[in-house]
A = this chain, B = another copy of it.
Amino acid sequence: MGTTDTGHQPDGAGEKQSAPRRRADAERNITAILDAALVCFTEQPQASMTAIARTAGVGRVTLYAHFPSREVLLEAVLDHTIALASAVIDTAAPNEGPAVDALSRLLHISWHVLDRHRRLFEIAQRELDPAVLRQHHDQAMSRVEQLLIRGQQEGAFRTDLPLNWLVTTVYSLLHAAAADVNTGHLKQNTVADVLEATLLPALRPPQATVRRRRRG
């Protein structure tokens, strides 16, 4: 019996040690594959299984042993990335302090990770079952969404446009900025500031000045 497939359970989010007890060997390869797939997919959506296996430094058969199909792999990578992004977002403490400050922290800390998530999600959108997608999508988007809602309640963010559009605006510019870094148009260390300078005015309630010397 060559290939194995121990009832693969490519750890969802929190490394629950499952029943079959994989060998350390296998465990190591799985994470290597996951990492490689993450890189390959974000670099070019059409990345082949062969390319991913090669990047991970494992045989193609080994890849299929753990992830029986491209679809399964893609979903696993998506899960993995979401968990990662979620952790990083928590670091920014999006529920603490004024919403504007929280958004600023969020942008500075996690623009990179959020963009990666977006890219992956776009691929998944093309290749995965729409039903499965919904969950992943909402799960990740909701963090930003909640922050925006809080900002609206504080009066810091505008309410004259659909909430959904505000979320889209954030993600869209985030992605654009990350892409500009890739092409060399923007520098790593300026991204967050540029994003903040663009997003805050766009999210602020219209007509509302910076509230300096309001009294005439």
Residues of A within 8 A of B (CB): 44, 126, 160-162, 164-165, 168-169, 171-173, 175-177, 180, 185-186, 194, 197-199, 201-202, 204, 206-207, 209-210, 213, 216
Query: In the bound complex, how far is the Cα of B204 from the Cα of A137, in angstroms?
Result: 32
Query: In the bound complex, how far is the Cα of B160 from the Cα of A213, in angstroms?
Result: 23
Cross-chain contact of A180 among B165, B185, B197, B202 (Cβ < 8 A):
B165
Query: In the bound complex, how far is the Cα of B206 from the Cα of A177, in angstroms?
Result: 19
Query: In the bound complex, how far is the Cα of B216 from the Cα of A172, in angstroms?
Result: 38
Query: In the bound complex, how far is the Cα of B202 from the Cα of A199, in angstroms?
Result: 7
Which B residues are CB-close (under 8 A) to A197? 160-161, 206
Q: Is the interface of A mostly helix, strand, loop or mixed?
A: helix
Which B residues are CB-close (under 8 A) to A173? 169, 172-173
Known contacts A176-B169, A216-B213; A185 and B162 CB within 8 A of each other: yes
Which B residues are CB-close (under 8 A) to A204? 201
Which B residues are CB-close (under 8 A) to A194? 161-162, 165
Query: In the bound complex, how far is the Cα of B108 from the Cα of A29, in angstroms?
Result: 53
Flag if B165 contacts A185 (CB, 8 Å). yes
In this complex, what residue of B is CB-closest to A174?
Answer: B172
Flag if B206 contacts A202 (CB, 8 Å). no
Query: In the bound complex, how far is the Cα of B179 from the Cα of A97, in angstroms?
Result: 33
Which B residues are CB-close (under 8 A) to A126? 44
Which B residues are CB-close (under 8 A) to A216? 213, 216
A sample of 9 more A-B contacts (CB under 8 A), given A168-B180, A201-B206, is: A162-B186, A165-B198, A171-B176, A172-B172, A198-B202, A201-B202, A201-B204, A202-B202, A213-B216
